[in-house]
């Protein structure tokens, strides 16, 4: 069954784009329950990315955490999305699980060389260190120093997602600031949750969507996140979010990435689209 993506309300060939520098999206685009409440009935699976990328302004790819793809796969993903759309990607876990991070330069280069085929759809790279990972500060600092600032002709932005509670402190934040790398603000009870700004962009993973609410979050909650996102985008910092170190953050206008991840995953596309509408209306 064919389906015209662009006759549905909210979908355009040009995509939705960021709102005043704020991008909103979800994790991945392949999830069976979304075929009942997000994707139109009859839409073939191979067109799901094409559809999702015209309703959202960014998608975080989690699959690359388990293994990198071929450059031609990244190129195909880029071709299926509209101009201005961005992908965030998780780096392969084998890199972050290495015993000596400072010796992973070859693996880093291989991964980044492959994703270069995303071209101008390439957004932030997320380096996730899971709870239980043994981290040594000197080695960690050496690892940050080897992460390149460009790949091909494209600038790179790095995001650190350290889920090792004992490692997350003012010293860790200072290292991130020194290298101009963002730290993830994960709104969840399950992971370290802090909103210290360490780069010229902000990266949020919102993990509290609820199945009993059609949009995952109620309207007041979404309005609150819209207000916070706008404050970050203007170069400020919301005064109602947790922080570890009140040291001065980089100022000036910022790009903000907001992803609805996990929790009641079936509601996340609706939550993302509802936040985009909140941002447009405000």
Q: Which domains does the chain have, with CATH numbers?
A: 5-281 (3.20.20.410)
pLDDT at 33 over 90: yes
Q: Do 201 and 182 meet the contact criterion of CB atoms below 8 Å apart?
A: yes
User: Alpha-carbon distance 125 to 157, whole Å?
Assistant: 6
Q: Span 38-47, mean pLDDT?
A: 97
Place of tokens 């998608």: 59
Is the torsion defined by CA of 117, 120, 123, 127 positive or negative? Answer: positive
pLDDT at 249 over 80: no
pLDDT value at residue 4: 52
9: confidence class by pLDDT, cuts 50, 70, 90: very low
pLDDT value at residue 6: 46
pLDDT digits (tens, 9 = 90+) for 211-248: 999 999 999 999 999 999 999 999 999 999 999 997 77
13: confidence class by pLDDT, cuts 50, 70, 90: low
Q: Name the region of 165 (left: φ>0; alpha: ψ -120 to 50; beta: rest).
A: alpha
Sequence-ordered list of residues with C-beta below 8 angstroms from that of 198, at least 6 positions apart, any chain: 173, 176, 177, 180, 181, 182, 183, 249, 250
pLDDT at 3 over 70: no
């Amino acid at each position: 069954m064919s389906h015209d993506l662009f006759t549905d309300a909210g979908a355009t060939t040009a995509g939705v784009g960021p709102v005043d520098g704020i991008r909103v999206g979800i994790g991945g685009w392949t999830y069976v329950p979304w075929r009942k409440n997000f994707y139109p009935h009859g839409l073939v699976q191979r067109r799901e990315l094409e559809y999702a990328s015209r309703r959202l302004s960014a998608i975080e790819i989690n699959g690359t955490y388990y293994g990198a793809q071929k450059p031609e796969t990244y190129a195909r993903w880029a071709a299926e999305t509209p101009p201005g759309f961005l992908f965030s990607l998780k780096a392969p876990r084998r890199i972050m699980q290495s015993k000596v991070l400072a010796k992973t330069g070859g693996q880093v280069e291989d991964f980044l060389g492959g994703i270069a085929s995303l071209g101008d759809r390439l957004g932030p790279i997320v380096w996730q260190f899971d709870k239980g990972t043994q981290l040594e500060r000197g080695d960690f600092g050496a690892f940050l120093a080897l992460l390149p600032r460009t790949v091909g002709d494209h600038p790179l932005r790095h995001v650190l997602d350290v889920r090792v509670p004992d490692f997350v402190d003012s010293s860790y934040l200072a290292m991130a600031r020194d290298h101009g790398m963002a730290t993830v603000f994960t709104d969840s009870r399950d992971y370290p949750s802090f909103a210290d700004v360490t780069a010229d962009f902000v990266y949020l993973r919102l993990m509290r969507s609820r199945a009993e609410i059609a949009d995952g979050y109620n309207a007041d909650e979404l309005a609150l996140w819209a207000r916070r996102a706008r404050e970050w985008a203007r170069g400020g910092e919301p005064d109602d979010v947790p922080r570890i170190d009140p040291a001065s953050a980089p100022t000036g206008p910022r790009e903000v990435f907001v992803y609805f991840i996990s929790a009641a995953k079936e509601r996340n596309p609706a939550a993302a689209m509802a936040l985009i509408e909140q941002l447009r209306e405000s």
